A and B are shown apart, each in its own frame.
Chain A
Amino acid sequence: MSRRTSPVIPGFGLTLGYTLVYLGLLVLIPLGAMFVHAAQLTWSDFWAIVSAPRVLAALKLSFGTAFVAALINGLIGTLLAWVLVRYRFSGRRIIDAMIDLPFALPTAVAGIALTALYAPSGLVGQFASDLGFKIAYTPLGITLALTFVTLPFVVRTVQPVLADIPREVEEAAACLGARPLQVFRHVLLPALLPAWLTGFALAFARGVGEYGSVIFIAGNMPMKTEILPLLIMVKLDQYDYTGATAIGVLMLVVSFVLLLLVNLLQRRIETP
């Protein structure tokens, strides 16, 4: 009756058990507790909290800036991966190691440093200010901070895939008369896209939840530059634990739906 094919490597029961315990302790229980806490609210209370104008404005800002930042990193990150994989030049390894630095740096340090640079009196910000626009304390500044923090994701997911595509494939396509753009469109892109989407989704998810680096550069003006995680902190500072979990649940559900969509998209690309 059993349809399960016995794998070559034994230990399925043990490893699955570990997987479930691990995921349960680290992911499911904390997230579940949040849903349980939010369940104290009636549906209409919950709706009143998450549909307040300030929450909606923050929702748009958080998801909008995270999306744009992930998109920027999607382009620049692919370019970086390309340069690192396809060319040999002195200092390549150093640049390669530098890519991961945004992960190692405490996010608050990144935030303070970026603010000092891009504030209207800062080294870079003064030029923007001469041109008549501001970077720090605007959504532009938030996007900048998120781009910095999520830089490694796309590079690190695209890099190994790119390295695995043999040069010969491109050469063969070229020999068959494909123009460079056609090689890119029909040979490279299909191979890279699933990994690229993974990197994009990771960067996006990380950006939505980012607090430390954004909080210094955002300016935190209600309705304008207030991110969702800050609203959670505001609720907590009023000892409104339930209100805070309501916004947390909102973020989680929206993120989950978006990540699920990315996943489905990926599956369609992989199995045409």
Chain B
Amino acid sequence: MSIRRFALAAIAGLSLSAAVQAQTTLLNVSYDPTRELYSEFNTSFNKHWQARGHEAVTIQQSHGGSGKQARAVIDGLRADVVTLALAGDIDELNKLGKLIPEDWQSRLPQGSTPYTSTIVFLVRKGNPKAIKDWDDLVKPGVEVITPNPKTSGGARWNFLAAWAYAEQKYGSEAKAKEFTEQLYKNVPVLDTGARGSTITFVNNNIGDVLLAWENEAFLALKEEGGENFEIVAPSLSILAEPPVAVVDKNVDRKGTREVATAYLNYLYSAEGQRIAAKNFYRPRDAKVAAEFSKQFPDLKLVTIDKDFGGWKSAQPKFFNDGGVFDQIYQVQ
């Protein structure tokens, strides 16, 4: 008897709290450096959404390493949208979680990537080691700080940028491998994530150059102590494309497909693009890009799809067990 009564009370309590939570909530699961971008974007989206006659939405953000975040969603975190560091991580939502269709990347413009970034160098004030380009990173006595590509999405872009430079300059894959081997010999610490590497370089004063997301590098300059650093743009880098996607299975269960789709589409609007640019992400929209053209150095950029055959071929070749990155450390 008493158990049944308890169960009834529990059910009554649950439906009550459901009634209280009638307001729609949206969970955006993202990677580390987008914290500032999305807190500004969410406010703007809410205004836009209400102006079109809808109720306000509560938007929750979750940040962490890109791979870890993807695993959390696969393991049952009810994300409505994911905005991660690389397409490879969102691919796993399809492969392992069956949460989204295989063609997710073609559902939104520009390969579902509303903003991009690239990899630049952050050096100490006055550039004491005269670092100008990738060649300077393999010189003896230069210490390079970059996270471990096995655990960090950003570090994978770093690795591929170095590889692309060497391959174009020296003309062969074997030479590119030698070059990256040399480069990683100059790495004294491999942190697990981009923020960890920034702490090592900025706060602990280790190393001569930090390989960083362009937006992270700009952010570091803006923060306290930022005057102690300079950004150096190499002659060639990689177009880092952090994509976004609606998580179909979750939005259908929660009934939030409409608002989730509108949320991602708003990233492509002029206002969304401007917020991205203000937070140092490169906008896709040509007009907004022109407005902010002074902010971003002009670089030659290779892309993951054209130059590496997409993450589906780059990930196993370079970063999985026994891949190129592992081989670098097996030599020693």
Q: Known contacts being A236-B67, A237-B68, A243-B321, is A221 close to B206, with CB within 8 Å?
A: no
Give how many A-B residue pairs fall within 8 Å (CB-CB).
Answer: 68
B320→A53 contact, CB < 8 A? no
Q: Does B186 contact A (CB under 8 A)?
A: no
* Interface hits, A82-100 → B, CB 8 Å: none
A238→B320 contact, CB < 8 A? yes
Chain B 60-96 interface 0/1 with A at a Cβ cutoff of 8 Å (1 = within): 0000010110010000000000000000000010011
Complex Cα gap A137–B161 (Å): 26
Q: Which of B106-114, B165-173, B187-195, B279-287 contacts A (4 or more CB under 8 A)?
A: B187-195
Chain A 97-116 interface 0/1 with B at a Cβ cutoff of 8 Å (1 = within): 00000000000000010011
Chain A residues closer than 8 Å to B96, beta-carbon distance: 239
Interface of B is mostly: loop
Q: Does A215 contact B (CB under 8 A)?
A: yes
* Interface hits, B94-146 → A, CB 8 Å: 95-96
* Interface hits, B138-170 → A, CB 8 Å: 148, 150-151
* Interface hits, A199-254 → B, CB 8 Å: 215-216, 219-223, 230, 233-240, 243
B206→A216 contact, CB < 8 A? no
Instruction: Please give me the residue from chain A that is nearest to B152 by CB atom.
Output: A237
B330→A238 contact, CB < 8 A? no
Nearest CB of A to B198, in Å: 12
Instruction: Please give me the residue from chain B that is nearest to A220 by CB atom.
Output: B190
Counting chain A CB atoms within 10 Å of each CB, the highest count among B65, B189, B199, B321 belongs to B189
* Interface hits, B47-67 → A, CB 8 Å: 65, 67
Complex Cα gap A270–B30 (Å): 55
Q: Known contacts being A215-B192, A219-B189, A220-B192, is A115 close to B204, with CB within 8 Å?
A: yes
* Interface hits, A34-77 → B, CB 8 Å: 53-54
Partner of A240, one of B151, B196, B203, B321: B321
Complex Cα gap A242–B49 (Å): 44
B151→A116 contact, CB < 8 A? no
Complex Cα gap A78–B321 (Å): 44
Q: Does A120 contact B (CB under 8 A)?
A: yes
B148→A220 contact, CB < 8 A? yes
Q: Does A182 contact B (CB under 8 A)?
A: no
Give me the interface of A with B, judged by CB distance under 8 Å.
Answer: 53-54, 112, 115-116, 119-122, 136-137, 215-216, 219-223, 230, 233-240, 243
| 11 further A-B pairs in the complex, CB-CB below 8 A; given A54-B326, A220-B190 | A53-B330, A54-B329, A119-B205, A121-B206, A122-B204, A137-B188, A215-B192, A222-B326, A230-B151, A233-B192, A235-B321
Give me the interface of B with A, judged by CB distance under 8 Å.
Answer: 65, 67-68, 71, 92, 95-96, 148, 150-151, 188-192, 196, 199-200, 203-206, 319-321, 326, 329-330, 332
